[in-house]
Amino acid sequence: MSGWDSEVDVAVVGGGACGVMSALRAARNPDLVIAVFEKSTREGCNAAISSGSLAAGGTRFQAAAGIEDSPQRHAEDIIAASGDEEWRPVVEALCAAAPEFVEWIADTGYPMEIGTDMPRAGMSVPRLHTDVGRLGGVRLMRHLRTLLDACDNVAFVDEAPVVDLVVEDGEVAGVVVQQNGTTQRVRANAVVLASDGFAGSPALVKEHLSHLGAPFYGGVSTATGDALAWVLPLGARLRNMGAGLRSGLVVVDHGTRVSPALPFNGAVLVNLDGERFVEEDTKGYSSMAGVLQRQPGERAAMIWDATAMEATRESEMMRECLAAGAIRDRAALADVAADLGRTVEETERLLAPLPGRRALTAPYHLAWVTHGLLATQGGLVIDPSGRVLDASGTPIPRLFAGGGTACGLAGAHSDGYMSGNGLLSAFGMAWIIGNALSRTA
């Protein structure tokens, strides 16, 4: 073993959603030795700060709730939102994997339920699965890490960023890892790039996403697109680099997000000019970010009532908002009018329900919301098996990518992002890659 510090069968770059699931699935083969190199769990992964909402069509949880759905219907919804026909094979592969990984996570003891109270724009049936108690991604990632720690053939190496690939004779042969001030070359038969996107890199965001202006950044610091620089010299291609997972639900001066279900429960948006500028429940939260960016001051007041509050209170997002003091309680219409700088009569007109929507009644709640960037959606071109492709469409041997490192499901534009796409890309591709690796010896 000349020139190598150690050797494994599978080197996973990143210990977030995609990395942990890839390792868990590959580790079912006891003959494989797997190392997950994680930049820093102290800094964290996006999966752990996410809502942990898992989109899957055709699960037993949906069936038990009387919801008819299928992987095909899920895929059609995603493509209708993104308009990205070219990406259909990847979308269909992920949607086929989704009910399998959601049910498997539940079978490992995770308290899964279907969120019938989590309506989302563009989702033709309730399809988001979440934990009973709604603690979100932090609980999910803790659960998966516990499962991983029980695997004898997996080493989770923390505070150990991968800084490069080792390429020998034009082929990926391993990774270069930094740990405790030393640099190590780790030989691997397969490398899984699971280090997420580049929303935490101001330089890359400026290069690819300058049209988003100066959004609040709501993702983790570790998502700096490290893998992109290593694979481009191998001929890999990037796709949809101008698309992001945005949020139009970020509370000004707090950075917490209000629930995406509020607009479906009658919440109203009013801008600084005293205008109602959008039909609130027709936009997904990523698409709403663009609408807010175009408003005066890039913000608007979201107003809702006690009924809407009751319907949305039990989510990690609303709990965080309440804990942060990000939501104002307003007893009467006059109080809301004062916040908006409008007369009571004007405010009454502004809050009047649009056709088919419920009327709000006092007391009210109010938060000023703006747009934020949570994660990027552009990334490496892969095939439906997660193999990284070169410019001719040929798989680069031994190299896989999933989650935010790979091209996502939003299409060319952030408006095409559908709720649940992020973890679907991460867990779904990890499921596919890890299962295939477990069949290798």
Ligand X SMILES: Cc1cc2nc3c(=O)[nH]c(=O)nc-3n(C[C@H](O)[C@H](O)[C@H](O)COP(=O)(O)OP(=O)(O)OC[C@H]3O[C@@H](n4cnc5c(N)ncnc54)[C@H](O)[C@@H]3O)c2cc1C
Residues that bind ligand X (CB under 6 A): 13-19, 37-40, 43, 45-47, 49-53, 161-162, 194-196, 218-219, 222-223, 226, 245, 374-375, 403-405, 420-424, 426
Which one-letter DSSP state was computed for residue 362?
Answer: S
**Which residue is associated with the tokens 């990037």?**
238
Between CA 183 and CA 163 the distance in angstroms is 9
**Which residue is associated with the tokens 């499962």?**
147
**Smallest gap, in angstroms, from Cβ of residue 16 to ligand X?**
2
| Adjacent-strand bridge partners of 302 | 269, 367
Q: Give the residue at shortest CB distance from ligand X.
A: 16
Left (φ > 0), alpha (ψ -120 to 50) or beta: where does 71 sit? alpha
Report the chain's terminal Cα–Cα distance, integer Å.
19
**Smallest gap, in angstroms, from Cβ of residue 126 to ligand X?**
14
**Smallest gap, in angstroms, from Cβ of residue 355 to ligand X?**
31
Give how far the C-alpha of residue 255 lies from the chain's centroid of Cα atoms, to the nearest Å. 17
Closer of 50 and 265 to ligand X (Cβ): 50
Residue type, 435: N
**Smallest gap, in angstroms, from Cβ of residue 328 to ligand X?**
22
Between CA 433 and CA 136 the distance in angstroms is 25
What phi and psi, each to the nearest 5 degrees, are found at residue 31? -80, -10
Between CA 176 and CA 164 the distance in angstroms is 5
Closer of 58 and 218 to ligand X (Cβ): 218
Closer of 188 and 374 to ligand X (Cβ): 374
Q: Which two tokens stand for residue 60?
A: 């037993």
Closer of 200 and 330 to ligand X (Cβ): 200
Closer of 37 and 364 to ligand X (Cβ): 37
**Smallest gap, in angstroms, from Cβ of residue 423 to ligand X?**
3
Closer of 159 and 346 to ligand X (Cβ): 159
**Smallest gap, in angstroms, from Cβ of residue 31 to ligand X?**
25
